[in-house]
């Protein structure tokens, strides 16, 4: 199995630009999670989906952030407009019902100048 795939691995952009992060979960997994990791705040859950439906988005910092999961094999996290404080590593993880194990992708390192 290829594991969770995230793209791009690195993204450098300027303040005000739109940023789209992509995730392909492990085939057969029905849960998908988006996390953000920063030195100041640690690892935070932003949003998670079950069967492509958003279940809890209480961790999404503000309206500039949005996430979609149009099908079982693809999800996006979009930031529009981006700000320097959005600089972080964004992780996608997937899991299967009853498994109680989340499988993390390698992350996208985002730098907003």
Partner 1 sequence: AQSVTQLDSQVPVFEEAPVELRCNYSSSVSVYLFWYVQYPNQGLQLLLKYLSGSTLVKGINGFEAEFNKSQTSFHLRKPSVHISDTAEYFCAVRDAGGTSYGKLTFGQGTILTVHP
Round to whole Å and give the CA distance between 90 and 106.
Answer: 9
Neighbours of 33 (CB within 10 A): 24
Among 11-19, 61-69, 72-80, 95-103, the segment contacting partner 1 (CB under 8 A): 95-103
Structure tokens, 23: 């995730």
Q: Give the nearer residue to partner 1 in terms of CB position, either 18 or 56.
A: 56
31 is a contact residue toward partner 1 (CB under 8 A): yes
Give the strand pairing for 42-50 and 103-104: unpaired
What residues line the site for partner 1 (CB under 8 A)? Answer: 4, 31, 33, 42-45, 48, 50, 56, 91, 93, 95, 97, 100-102, 104-107
């Amino acid at each position: 199995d290829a594991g969770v795939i995230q793209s791009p691995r690195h993204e450098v952009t300027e303040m005000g630009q739109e940023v789209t992060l992509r995730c392909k979960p492990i085939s057969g997994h029905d849960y998908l999670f988006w996390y953000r990791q920063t030195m100041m705040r640690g690892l935070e859950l932003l949003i998670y989906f079950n069967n492509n439906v958003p279940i809890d988005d209480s961790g999404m910092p503000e309206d500039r952030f949005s996430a979609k999961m149009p099908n079982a094999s693809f999800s996006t996290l979009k930031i529009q407009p981006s700000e320097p404080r959005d600089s972080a590593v964004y992780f996608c993880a997937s899991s299967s019902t009853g498994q109680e194990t989340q499988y993390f992708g390698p992350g996208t390192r985002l730098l907003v100048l």
